[in-house]
Structure formats: structure tokens, C-alpha cells
Amino acid sequence: MSTAEPTIITKRLRADAVRNRAKVLEAARAAFAEHGAEAQMEDVARRAGVGVGTVYRHFPTKQALAEALVEERFDRTIAFVRGLLDEEPDPWRALERCFEYCAATQATDRAWAAALALMAGGTMGPREHQMRELLALEEQLLAGARAAGVVREDLVATDLPALFCGLASVVQAGGDAWRRYLELLLDGLRPPAR
């Protein structure tokens, strides 16, 4: 939930700085949702009602700002999967809902796709802690599915980032081709003998 750098003690910020940081993040969410990766820093500053310098004071680079949004998305995704684990009794349906969540999430947040690509590439990069946590939860989910015999025996959590990355890019491609894509993909994850 904390938006401070991991492993670094949160610096005490002046009250107005805290408010500005929040306004910048809020503005960035809107700007990135609307314009994707080519959202402009000047625009973020304008929406937040601050000078560009303030944006850069809180986030040293556009990339860093995008990553902060990704961090939020990770938290939400982790919460979602945790929710599935104790609310969705059907292990296959739970897996299916993970993929649907991934697809739905792409529409409003394009920086997220870049993060998924990082995971798929195996370079944990920053957000390593969150990536591990998400993978651990997904492994639990898969364990249930394997035990129920509804997925191929050899499917493990570390296979998933690449699958999500692929799905993300198909969703980004536009149109509704991703639905058919997901159908083929999910069918292919079932155990070979049916």
C-alpha cells in the first residue's frame, strides 16, 4: 500500500509535499489512461495543478512515474488474486478469471503491459518483491487446479507471466481478437487427455 521506495525508509514529507505527490499520481493515472505511454509530463503537471519541476521532484523521470502507477496496479492485482483464492471455489474458473482480469486491466493502463513484459523476460527489475508475491499466489492457485486435474500437470506459476504478456499485447492491438485468442490459450492449458 505504501508508495515509497522499497527497502528505503520513507522520508518524512512536508504536508503540502504529501498532497502534491498524491495530486501528481492522480493526474498521471488520468493522463496515462488517456494517452498511453506518450502522455506528456507537462500535461501531468497541468492536471495536477503544479509546476513540472514538482512532478520531477517526486518522480525523477517519466519512467519512474509510470513505474509508480505499475506499483499500484501490482497491489490491486495481488489483492484480486488473493480474493480469488478464498472466494472462487472452482479452480479452473479462478485461473480463467486471472486472465480476464489481465485483459480488462490493459484497457485502462498501458504502462502495465511494459511491467508484464519485464516479468515475462525474467528480469524481475524493480518491483521484484511484488512480482514474487504475485507469483506465489498464482502458484497456490495453480496447485489447486492441478490437484483438481483441470490443467496440464506441468503448468507452473513461472509460465504465467509470458502468457499474460502475450495476452496483453493482443489486447493492446485493439479489436476483440483477444477473446478468441484467450479461448484458444485457455483450451490449450487443460490436461491433454481431456
Partner DNA sequence: ACCTGAACACCGTTCAAGT
Q: Which of 62, 73, 97, 110 binds DNA (CB under 7 A)?
A: 62
# residues near its own copies by CB under 8 A: 34
Tell the smallest beta-carbon distance from residue 172 to DNA (Å).
Answer: 19
Q: Which of 6, 36, 51, 125 binds DNA (CB under 7 A)?
A: 51
Interface stretch with its own copies, choices 20-28, 34-42, 45-53, 176-184 (CB under 8 A): 176-184
Contact in structure between 115 and 170 (CB atoms under 8 Å): no
Site for its own copies in 90-119 (CB under 8 A): 117-118
Q: Is 3 one of the binding residues for DNA (CB under 7 A)?
A: no
CB neighbour list of residue 99: distance below 8 Å, 6 or more residues apart: 163, 164, 167, 182, 185, 186
Tell the smallest beta-carbon distance from residue 46 to DNA (Å).
Answer: 9
Q: Is 60 one of the binding residues for DNA (CB under 7 A)?
A: yes
Q: Is 53 one of the binding residues for its own copies (CB under 8 A)?
A: no
Q: Is 120 one of the binding residues for its own copies (CB under 8 A)?
A: yes
Q: Which is nearer to DNA, 16 or 87 (CB)?
A: 16
Q: Which is nearer to its own copies, 146 or 152 (CB)?
A: 152
CB neighbour list of residue 61: distance below 8 Å, 6 or more residues apart: none
Alpha-carbon distance 3 to 9, whole Å? 11
Q: Is 165 one of the binding residues for its own copies (CB under 8 A)?
A: yes
Q: Residues interacting with DNA, by CB under 7 A?
A: 11, 13-14, 16-17, 20, 38-42, 49-54, 56-58, 60-63
In the complex, which residues of this chain contact its own copies (CB under 8 A)? 117-118, 120-123, 152, 155, 159, 161-163, 165-170, 172-175, 177-178, 180-181, 184-185, 187-189, 192-194
